[in-house]
Amino acid sequence: MPGCADQELLLGGLVDNELDAANVAMVEAHVARCDGCREELERLQGLRNLLRTDGVRHAAPGSLVRRIAASPGLSPTAANENHLRGWLVPGLAGAVAASLAMLTLLPPGADSIVDQQIVSSHVRSLQPGHLTDVQTTNQHIVKPWFNGRIDFSPPVPELADQGFPLAGGRLDSIDGRTVAAIVYHRRLHTVNVFAWPAKNGGDRAFVKDGFAVTEWSRNGLRFAAVSDIPAAELRQFETLFVKRSG
């Protein structure tokens, strides 16, 4: 089933992590109700994953990168020599950039599609009726609620005495996998903690689209906390969450 023509560029932008959080939420909402665009998105994601496979991805040699950068045909002065060059050179530069992108084949970095999905899932959860599947401040209700719905048991520490009251939990989706989302409040703000099984990875923190994100791994689970509170407060939240999770 073909996807919607007016969504082609947006689907490509979603896969390539080129959309802001608001547009990601909009496209994901469309994909959720459009079978054609959902199939097209899965095809694009499959192609992207294939290109990142070991043995397929190749980095451009440094000598090639230097020769392209030193090419006089790409300099601003040469581009302004006449109208024809002014039209051709940006196109040539774009073609070169695209070629280099194909040579490097989307190297993984801090600004990954998973990072974008973490932020967009947080934004989507803030829409009315999307924040929790089970709404309660009782950790002894939230933690058992996940039993039978996912094949792992995320910690649900009590942090209300430190200014982070529990709000509930829900199931969400990150990078095609079902994850647990434990929800806390900080004054009038929301903190989402996503958890899923994964090999231990390094701790990291960054800000994307105005949202602070901090990630860590413990006991075979990967955690990602996201909120619009200051990054320092979110790191404080992570410290408390880890300490009280045992």
Q: State pLDDT tens for residues 187-202.
A: 999 999 999 999 888 8
pLDDT digits (tens, 9 = 90+) for 143-182: 999 999 999 999 999 999 999 999 999 999 998 899 999 9
Predicted local distance difference test score (pLDDT) of residue 110: 43
Higher per-residue confidence, 58 vs 218: 218
On whether the CB atoms of residues 237 and 166 are closer than 8 A, the answer is no
pLDDT in tens, 63-116: 777 777 777 655 444 444 444 344 444 544 454 444 443 333 333 344 578 889
Tokens describing residue 60? 């451009």
* Domains along the sequence of the chain with CATH: 5-51 (no CATH), 62-104 (no CATH), 113-245 (3.30.200.100)
pLDDT number for residue 178: 94
User: For residue 141, how many C-alpha atoms fall within 13 Å in the half-sphere facing its CB?
Assistant: 12
How many whole angstroms separate alpha carbon 68 and alpha carbon 40?
34
- pTM across the whole model: 0.59
- The secondary structure element, H or E, covering residue 58 is none
Q: How big is the CA angle at 111 (ends 21 and 169), to the nearest 5 degrees?
A: 55
Q: Whole-angstrom Cα distance, residue 46 to residue 41?
A: 8
Q: How far is it, in rounded angstroms, from Cα 77 to Cα 221?
A: 53
Query: Helical H runs in the chain?
Result: 8-15, 21-33, 35-51, 62-69, 76-79, 83-104, 113-125, 139-145, 231-245
Which pairing describes strands 134-135 and 221-227: parallel, antiparallel, or unpaired?
Answer: unpaired
As to burial, measured by CB atoms within 10 angstroms (0-12 exposed, 13-18 middle, 19+ buried), residue 186 is buried
Percent of the chain with pLDDT over 70: 78
pLDDT at 58: 62
Residue with tokens 């992570």: 238
